[in-house]
Amino acid sequence: VRYPESHKAETHAKIVAAAARSFREHGAEAEGIGAVMAGLGLTKGGFYRHFGSKDDLVAEAVAVAFEEISERLVRIAEAAPQGRALQAIVEHYLSREHLEAPGSGCVLAALAAEIARLPVPVRRRIGLSIRAYRDVMAAYMPGDSLDERRERFGVLFPAMAGVLAAARVLEDDSARERMLAAARSFFVDSFAAATLG
């Protein structure tokens, strides 16, 4: 079978996108290459025409996942009323929709502990994605300098990720909602209020 010029790049992107979703949903360790490929109607043998190893896919999938959540939060921030960009980000991040859709949500909330266990070279590649994410979001953080805004990002986003991950642990739906609501008002008061006049 001979495929058109662009075919390989398209398949590669599809594999990464599918992995980005299922790794966040089921864990990168738990989800196998075979399952990802089968989800695209492909067989796992073909995987190695696209990636050197599973770790390569993990690194690419995590990078894409960071780009996805970054773009989404920027869209939400830009759509928010004047001066309420960060508030909109916090409220979306700690929303029930985000809680219930880990596959399209924040990587940190879904995979932080697993990423911390990855080999150093993979973590280094992922570090680039995290810093890119941070620098995009820093624009919406309060602070007089870039360093200050980065530092606040480094508290707010991991903290929200922790709350989201903990809320996902709870079995009771109303307990989840109470936890998210308390965190929303806390983080809006602590961070977003400062960006208002």
Partner DNA sequence: TGTACATCAGTGAACGCGCGTTCACTGATGTAC
Footprint of DNA (CB under 7 A): 1-3, 7-8, 11, 32-35, 37, 41-50, 53-55
Write the Ramachandran bin of 181: left for phi over 0, alpha for psi from -120 to 50, otherwise beta. alpha
With CB under 5 to 8 Å by kind, the binding choice for 182 among DNA, a copy of itself, none is a copy of itself
CA dist., res. 24 & res. 92, Å (int) = 18
- Taking the complex as a whole, the smallest distance from the CB of residue 167 to a copy of itself amounts, in Å, to 7
CA dist., res. 109 & res. 7, Å (int) = 33
With CB under 5 to 8 Å by kind, the binding choice for 152 among DNA, a copy of itself, none is a copy of itself
CA distance readout (Å), 106 to 87, 90, 163: 17, 12, 12
With CB under 5 to 8 Å by kind, the binding choice for 192 among DNA, a copy of itself, none is none
| Torsion angles phi and psi, residue 106, rounded to 5 | -70, 130
Residues near a copy of itself (CB under 8 A):
26-27, 29-30, 102, 108-117, 120, 123-124, 126-127, 130, 151-152, 154-155, 157-172, 178-179, 182-183, 186, 190
- Taking the complex as a whole, the smallest distance from the CB of residue 103 to DNA amounts, in Å, to 17
Both tokens of 58, joined, read 């993990």
Q: What SS3 string covers 164-191?
A: HHHHHHCCCHHHHHHHHHHHHHHHHHHH
Specify the residue, 77 or 161, whose C-beta has the smaller distance to a copy of itself: 161
- Taking the complex as a whole, the smallest distance from the CB of residue 71 to a copy of itself amounts, in Å, to 20
Specify the residue, 50 or 60, whose C-beta has the smaller distance to a copy of itself: 60
Both tokens of 147, joined, read 């360093």
